[in-house]
Amino acid sequence: MSMTRVLTGAALIPVLLVIVWYLPPMAFVALAAAAAAVGQHELSLMARARGHRPLTVTGVVLGTLLILNIERPLFPLLGGVFFWVTLSVLAVLTVRLFARRPVEGALEDVSFTLLGVLYVSLLFGFQVAIHAGAPGKRWLVFLYLVIWAADSGAYYAGSAFGRRRLYEKISPKKSVEGLIGGTIASMIAALLCSFWLVKGMGAAEAVVLGGALALVGTVGDLAESLLKRSAGVKDSGTLIPGHGGVLDRMDSMLFAAPVLYYYLRMR
């Protein structure tokens, strides 16, 4: 792990925790929407690396409206997020229909634009949904700590003991031993959080939930690696020194946040 990555992570973690804990809800939503917009732009650059031309501005506008709707529904009687997903499909197809572009490539343009709205903005929005719940701030910090523990545990365990490749054609550096180490680290982090952060959660529940989020987060990491490998790029962007782009930093969260959200809804 490079020193740049370590220093950047050490600086970002407390900043993000302060943002989650102290910012007013709408300020947090605005930052989440901005981060999702950057993520959509990064995904658009991946598509352009393969010669496609997503409707990036249209996607960012729709994704921003979708995230804002999670915190404060703009049309609460029209189906909530379902309304914005429907609007996104209709709007993207309509914009591409009347765009001054050749017919060829329309399928790819529409597909990549909608992927940006659904994969980046919609999944990013689940962090906003968790934050808006009760006690949302505690659960969102819980999610961050568990996923960060999984990432760190996987790196160090993989570096020390990694022998068997986890999914070599997608991510050659990931190992089965790293996955085990990351899962154990996330279980320990979740257990510690159950004592002082999210009280009322039993030890067994914390361990199982922490392990499940680590596994889901790993799938999210691999999914983003699939997109990058398909586009022929190493990182989604360069915004975060030592880490890459927003998608590189949040890929695990994009998958883990919906799982935690629906778990809390059913709990």
- For residue 244, name the pLDDT band (cuts at 50, 70, 90): confident
Give the residue-averaged pLDDT of 163-167.
90
Can you give the residue ranges of every domain in the chain? 3-266
Q: Tell me the two tokens of residue 241.
A: 């020194």
DSSP-derived 3-state class of residue 201: coil
Q: Rounded to whole angstroms, how far apart are CA atoms 123 and 205?
A: 24
Average pLDDT over residues 94-123: 95
**Single-letter amino acid, residue 194:** S
Q: Of 18-27, 110-119, 144-153, give the range with the top mean pLDDT.
A: 110-119
Task: Give me the pLDDT at residue 6, please.
Answer: 52
Question: Mean pLDDT over residues 93-100, rounded?
Answer: 95
Whole-angstrom distance, CA of residue 163 vs CA of residue 186? 21
User: For the whole prediction, is pTM greater than 0.75?
Assistant: yes
* Residue 9, pLDDT score: 58
Angstrom CA distances, 44 to 49, 107, 116, stand at 9, 15, 8
Residue 142 and residue 135: Cα distance in Å, rounded? Answer: 11
Half-sphere CA count of 224, side-chain side, radius 13 A: 29
Decide: 231 and 188 in contact? Cβ < 8 Å: no
Exposed / middle / buried, residue 246 (Cβ in 10 Å: 0-12, 13-18, 19+) = buried
The pLDDT tens digits of the residues spanning 51-74 come to 899 999 999 999 999 999 888 777
| 49, 233 contact by CB (below 8 A) | yes
Provide the token pair at 39.
Answer: 């993520």
